[in-house]
Structure 1
Amino acid sequence: MAITLITGGSRGLGKAGALALAKAGHDVIITYNSNVEAANSVVSQIRQLGRKGWALQLDTSDIGSFSTFYDALKKVLNEEFSSDTFHYLLNNAGVGTHTPFAQTTPQELDMLLNMHVKGPYFLTQQLLGLLEDGGAVLNVSSGLTRFCLPGYSAYAMAKGAVEVMSRYQAYELGVRKIRVNTLAPGAIETDFGEGLVRDNAAVNSAITERTALGRVGLPDDIGDVIALLLSDKSYWINGQRIEASGGMNL
């Protein structure tokens, strides 16, 4: 029985992934930064699907908190899941910014690098003692590393680092048969970036026109891909960047 840890699982793509994995038979532990009510709602939905669910607080930009999180996760695994290890890790937590290159500040870039690069790098490192041999890590990137949209230079640069990180993790963790891949979603209707794709009709229409499948992505589209990549069915996919964008900007 698989146990999956999802950072940033209280909303958006993390929530969609948590529910898709629960439907596929996974027990799921999610993390949240501040919105405990949203996290508890997701846990309730996981349990309604007949799986075990739990939520832990974590700020993925606070590297100094990772050892404390390790102890909390170990305790939850033992006491609530009757396990010493978990099988799959989805590094999903993050925020987006939309600032032109000329106006991006050092503080904004530091925030993005801390959350999207240093966070998953050192969190995965910290959790290696709890991650089961033969398991998998899935790091979330973005379609914006392949194509450019104004205002996303800092965010896309951070996500580009995530893709390189994933390849090195796959190479070095292969000795434990742990595979590591990158998931790069295209434009998805969520509250990410203050709901720009979901709530701005002009943006939504423009993306639809540039997507081969003729619509903007939905959270469940990505949830299903997460469930596929964190399963034995995708075992021979390793060290790869998988874009799930419906064919945007082909």
Structure 2
Amino acid sequence: MTQADNTTPRIALVTGGSRGLGKNTALHLARDGVGVIITYVSNRAAAEQTVDEIQAIGAKAVALQLDLANSRNFPGFADAVRAALKQTWNAEYLTYLVNNGGMGMHASIAETSEAVFDELYNVHLKGTFFLTQALLPLIADGGRIINTSSGLARFSLPGYAAYAAMKGGVEVMTRYMAKEFGARGIAVNTVAPGAIETDFGGGRVRDNAELNAFVSSQTALGRAGRPDDIGAAVASLLRPENGWINAQRIEVSGGMFI
């Protein structure tokens, strides 16, 4: 296995990188000189537009289709990543894996269907676990993994029980990954955004003025989060000088519900 160092290109894979926080993270990484592979579920046009924006910054980028809910396709996806690394960067390994892809759901426990629960589980928890497993041979020794959680794993708001339960599992899984991958020098951390103004969850925080005002009133810095708050934090955490941060949950919420 190759050790990540200053002589090899830094390359990140960002799931769900065609929109929202994933796209913002990909753009911030590109500004740091990192090549990026982004994934999308069905909106190829949006993914290609993101690739164009990354290339305009001066970094190389590739978009690959991936449905996180279908783990049976992960071995084939790993093959596609291997081919993209070779063709685009003449490289064999990723430096960074950012497990960002996902979707939101708002329903009380009484109203949550088993089908919706299973979908959240398949994408956020099972998907993160088995995609990391499939890509682990492609991550360079000394590389990094960031798993995405949520402030909702720390504080509780009605309607988010199923989603938050998955994110709680992601946080525990992160610590186990850090323990098991440490022998290869791979650091694994969790980034937990607070409420962010994106189209996530139907754009509730961005578009619902009453909800946005509530979030702002409960946040120490007095506003809801913005995509740049998260993308910049992830890119910063992945810079070479921050490699000693490991097995941590880093909440990026502006001080929500403290």
Q: TM-score, normalised by structure 2?
A: 0.96
Q: Where does 1:87-166 land on structure 2 (aligned, <5 Å)? A: 87-166=95-174
Q: Could you tell me how far 1:73 is from its partner in structure 2? A: 0.7
Instruction: State the 1:91 CA deviation.
Output: 0.2
Inter-partner Cα distance in structure 1 for 2:95 and 2:26: 14
Answer yes or no: is 1:15 the counterpart of 2:23.
yes
- 1:217 is matched with which residue: 206, 211, 225? 225
Deviations 1:13-49 (A, max 9, x none): 0000000000011010100000001100110000000
Distance (whole Å) between structure 2 residues aligned to residue 136 and residue 24 of structure 1: 15
Deviations 1:73-122 (A, max 9, x none): 10110011110111000000000000011111111111101000000100
SS of structure 1 residue aligned to 2:97: strand
Root-mean-square deviation (CA), in Å?
0.6
Rounded to whole Å, the distance in 1 between the matches of 2:243 and 2:84 is 27
After the TM superposition, list the runs of 4 or more consecutive aligned residues in structure 1 that deviate by more than 6 angstroms: none
Gaps of 5+ in 1: none
1:238 matched to 2:246: yes
Unmatched segments (≥5 aa) in structure 2 = 1-8
In structure 2, the residue corresponding to 1:190 is in which secondary structure? coil
Structure 1 residue 193 and structure 2 residue 201: aligned? yes
Count of residues in correspondence between the two structures: 250
C-alpha separation in 1, matches of 2:142 and 2:64 = 24
**Whole-Å separation in 2 of the counterparts to 1:238 and 1:114:** 26
Structure 2 CA distance, aligned partners of 1:102 and 1:61? Answer: 24
Letter of the structure 1 residue corresponding to residue 152 of structure 2: L
1:73 pairs with 81, 88, 112, which one?
Answer: 81
CA distance in structure 1 between the partners assigned to 2:238 and 2:123 by the alignment? 22
Match of 1:24 in 2: 32
Q: How far does the alpha carbon of each residue in 1:122-163 deviate from its partner, in whole angstroms, 9 at most, with x for none?
A: 010011111000000000000000101110000000000000
1:205 aligns with 2:213: yes
C-alpha displacement of 1:241:
0.3
> So what's the TM-score if we normalise by structure 1?
0.99
**1:197 counterpart SS class:** helix
Shift of 1:229: 1.3
